[in-house]
Amino acid sequence: MTGSVDPLREQFDAFKALPRDTPIQMLNLIRLKPLADYPEGHPDHGKGLSGLDAYRAYGRTTAHIFARVGGRQVWVGRPEGVVTGPADERWDLAFIAEYPHAGAFLAMVTDPEYRALVQHRSAAVEDSRLIRFAPVTPGEGFGE
């Protein structure tokens, strides 16, 4: 099975059809490749970098673009085990990125500099989930 690294056209079109002027939070679940897989011709091709090394390069090199569009990381965690769900599901990183509005996320992912630097992410990620949320104020109990 091939992992999900980039959205399918239908998924991205559905994202763009949602409101663009309200705050959003994006849950990121990331499974890394043991060895980064840079394309031939990339400066890091053949250097033996791990998926984690490549993902950290992605975060480091795109941080200024993320900040420029108003993005911020609001939560990060290291998954330790699946309590409910497929027993073979494994994630190496989990975090929530928040954007002032969906337009900011779209501005980031279409920025020409970002599009060049996203090669680090592509080299690093074996599988991922990116789920958009509308922030709500929590109630006292679960589901409120």
CB 1 within 8 A of CB 126: no
Residue 126 lies in a domain: yes
Read off the tokens for 2.
Answer: 């091939």
Select from 132, 112, 114, 92 the least CA-distant residue to 11. 132
Comparing 142 with 53, the larger pLDDT belongs to 53
Q: Give residue 33's pLDDT.
A: 97
Residue 3 has pLDDT above 80, yes or no: no
Residue 140 lies in a domain: no
Q: Assign 1 a pLDDT band (cuts: 50, 70, 90).
A: very low
Strand order, beta sheet including 125-133: 72-77, 93-99, 24-32, 125-133
Residue 139 lies in a domain: no
Residue 68 lies in a domain: yes
Q: How many beta carbons lie within 10 A of that of residue 50, not counting itself?
A: 14
Q: Give residue 2's pLDDT.
A: 60
| Domain extent at residue 76 | 9-13+22-133
Residue 1 lies in a domain: no
- Look at residue 35 and give its three-state secondary structure: strand
* Predicted confidence (pLDDT) per residue in 80-131, tens digit: 988 999 888 899 999 999 999 999 999 999 999 999 999 999 999 999 999 9
CATH number of the domain encompassing residue 34:
3.30.70.100
Q: How many beta carbons lie within 10 A of that of residue 57, not counting itself?
A: 20
Residue 90 lies in a domain: yes
Residue 70 lies in a domain: yes
Q: Give residue 48's pLDDT.
A: 96
Lowest mean pLDDT among 2-11, 52-61, 75-84, 134-143: 2-11
Number of domains present in the structure of the chain: 1
Residue 69 has pLDDT above 90, yes or no: yes
Average pLDDT score over the chain: 93
Helix (H) or strand (E) holding 99: strand 93-99
